[in-house]
Amino acid sequence: MIDFNLLKNQGDLIAQKIHSRGKNINISSLVTLNEQKNKLQAELDVLKNEKNQLSDTIGKLAKTGRDISDKKNLSLELNQKIETLLKSYEQISREFKQKLLEIPNIPDNDVPEGSSEQDNIELNRKIFNQDQGLDHIEIGNRLGCLDIETASKLSGSRFMILKGRLAQLHRALINFMLDEAKDNGYEENYVPYIVNRDALINTGQLPKFEDDQFKLTNEKFLIPTAEVPLTNFFSNSTINSKQLPINVCAHTPCFRAEAGSYGKDTKGIIRQHQFDKIELVKLVDPNESDQELTKLVSNATQILDKLELSYRTILLSTGDLGFSAAKTIDIEVWLPSQNCFREISSCSNFRDFQARRMKAHVKSNTVKYFPHTLNGSALAVGRCLVAIMENNYSVDKGLLIPKCLHTYLPFKFIDNQG
């Protein structure tokens, strides 16, 4: 959530920044709502004060045995006025908060302006090899370890079943990534896969992206990423400044309805309704969030270095920036069958946007402030598996296991099955 005072005092600049993301905001309507809300609050305070004074008077008169019927009638009138004003106040407060929640974060000054991913800027790339190769689906069929047909029978499209050694490789990747995160100073957590509406509002998935969520009953949702529970550890809390930076991680399945992506990446296991990720989350001092984003990207790319997979890093433009992010650097891995790089991680700095939404504060002596939050995948396990399959497959030998995973598996390759 953007600081309302910033919106009010630097309205033209903020509106221009938000416009660069493809969204127009009406700041004057927000200011009007805020003034109405404050006016109603002041009127309520006056009436409540009158009510309290009248209650004291009624109490004193009652002790003397005097007639208090007129005072009681006046008290009832005050109650009705308060009730009417309170309904108006609550309605305007909800409208004001809803409008604030719908405004995306302010892009950093060094984020390039653009209308789509075509305006993103490549920062660097690291190449191990870029040979042409078979599609991961064909490789999975040759190995006899990938079953999309049965998954579709069980659950519909965009699900997969991994079998035998490929399932073991998937698990080995998870353990490898968690060990890398631990070595980089992240505390591992096991978290709930179901969260409430407030948790998704706090991190910015709601209200805008409700159609992309898997909604259960009683306003509960399957998590779209471990970012949601990990970040919300600190909702409605005050953190001692000595605890910063906080680095936490978790492996979870992630569930996304992908409502806005029908027809896109439907073949294979690139875009699934259920997939696994290792998520890294940081809460840091505002003065250190820029360098912490650099660390976050490094923590993710070092996994690809050790797996010897070619990749590049991309600075997202304003038109491709996620709702809550002020700045995002995507990491894209090379997929030979598609002859291109595909996203495998998004590392984002949210500044104080999420902290404001979830009311997380840091206390340093007598000063309170909002921490900056960051998160990134290290990595998306399924897409990493696809990259390994397509970059490490040999028609003669089968799928070669990257050296860094040898200690996690009792085998060094997966044979063709026919």
Q: What is the pLDDT of residues 295-318, one digit of tens each?
A: 999 999 999 999 999 999 999 999
- Which residue do the tokens 């600049």 mark? 13
Q: Give dist(CA 243, CA 240) in Å, integer.
A: 6
Q: Give dist(CA 305, CA 308) in Å, integer.
A: 5
pLDDT digits (tens, 9 = 90+) for 28-66: 999 999 999 999 999 999 999 999 998 888 888 878 878
Task: Please state the rounded mean pLDDT for residues 343-361.
Answer: 98
pLDDT digits (tens, 9 = 90+) for 210-255: 999 999 999 999 999 999 999 999 999 999 999 999 999 999 999 9
Length of the chain: 418
Q: What region, left, alpha or beta, does residue 281 occupy, with left being phi > 0 and alpha being psi -120 to 50 degrees?
A: beta
Whole-number percent of the chain with pLDDT over 90: 87
Q: Which residue ranges make up each domain of the chain?
A: 26-101, 117-414
> Residue 289: what pLDDT?
97
SS3 335: strand
Mean pLDDT of the chain: 94
Give me 313's structure tokens: 């890093």
> Residue 197: what pLDDT?
97
Phi, psi of 280 (to 5 degrees): -110, 130
> Residue 259: what pLDDT?
56
Question: Facing residues of 279 across strands?
Answer: 250, 377
> Residue 261: what pLDDT?
55
- 260: pLDDT strictly greater than 60: no
Q: Give dist(CA 125, CA 331) in Å, integer.
A: 9
End-to-end CA distance of the chain: 56
Q: Exposed/middle/buried for 243, CB within 10 Å: 0-12, 13-18, 19+?
A: exposed
Q: Which CATH number is associated with domain 117-414?
A: 3.30.930.10
pLDDT digits (tens, 9 = 90+) for 165-209: 999 999 999 999 999 999 999 999 999 999 999 999 999 999 989
- 396: pLDDT strictly greater than 80: yes
- DSSP sequence for 272-321: -SEEEEEEEEEEE-GGGHHHHHHHHHHHHHHHHHHHT--EEEEEPPGGG-
> Residue 269: what pLDDT?
87
Question: Facing residues of 188 across strands?
Answer: 249
Tell me which amino acid residue 172 is: A
Task: Please state the rounded mean pLDDT for residues 65-91.
Answer: 90
How does DSSP classify residue 226? T
Between the CA atoms of 121, 126, 132 and 134, what dihedral angle is there, to the nearest 10 degrees?
Answer: -90
> Residue 60: what pLDDT?
83
> Residue 55: what pLDDT?
87
pLDDT digits (tens, 9 = 90+) for 131-167: 878 999 999 999 999 999 999 999 999 999 999 999 9
> Residue 187: what pLDDT?
98
SS3 367: strand
